């Protein structure tokens, strides 16, 4: 088991095009405005791999300026980094969660609404995993 650190390392990022494509084709989704959560689980390949791999997206259609897109992405990543510790214990040892967070609002946000949406979404994911383990 991992000691929870408030970092966001390379091995925690969802980067492979094949994994992202599979996630969007077969994953389940729910929304907590202004963030859409797309997730799926796969068998964990090694013991030292991260229990969660996460990616972030801010559509160019909603934010034409790359500066704005990167700011929103950084807000989501920072919120994830500080709140991911709540989700890790809920994930079974033999599974890895692939998660993609897509920002859906056309308005440039402050930190608080993004943080609240991510915390609420993590709570929903925890409930989903507890339900699967119980049933």
Residue-wise pLDDT tens digits, 106-132: 999 999 999 999 999 999 999 999 998
Domain with residue 72: its CATH number is 3.30.230.10
Domain that holds residue 87: 10-134
Reported as a single tens digit per residue, the pLDDT across 50-92 is 899 999 999 999 999 999 999 999 999 999 999 999 999 999 9
The reported pLDDT for the residue numbered 64 is 96
User: Does residue 1 form part of some domain?
Assistant: no
Q: How far apart are CA 132 and CA 135, in angstroms?
A: 5
Q: pTM to 2 decimals?
A: 0.92
When divided into structural domains, the chain yields a total of 1
> Is 123 part of any domain?
yes
Q: Is residue 23 part of a domain?
A: yes
Residue 79 lies in a domain: yes
Between CA 38 and CA 35 the distance in angstroms is 10
So what's the pLDDT on residue 3? 62
Q: Is residue 37 part of a domain?
A: yes
Query: 3 or 55, which is more confident?
Result: 55
């Amino acid at each position: 088991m991992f000691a929870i650190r408030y970092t966001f390392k390379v091995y925690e990022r969802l980067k492979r095009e094949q994994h992202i494509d599979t996630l969007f084709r077969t994953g389940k989704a729910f929304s907590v405005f202004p963030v859409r959560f797309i997730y799926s689980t796969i068998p964990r390949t090694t013991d030292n791999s991260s229990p969660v791999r996460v990616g972030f997206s801010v559509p160019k259609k909603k934010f034409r300026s790359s500066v704005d897109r990167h700011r929103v992405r950084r807000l989501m990543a920072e919120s994830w980094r500080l709140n991911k510790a709540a989700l890790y214990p809920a994930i079974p040892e033999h599974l890895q969660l692939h998660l993609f967070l897509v920002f859906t609002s056309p308005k440039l946000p402050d930190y608080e609404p993004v943080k609240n949406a991510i915390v609420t979404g993590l709570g929903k994911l925890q409930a989903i995993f507890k339900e699967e383990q119980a049933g």
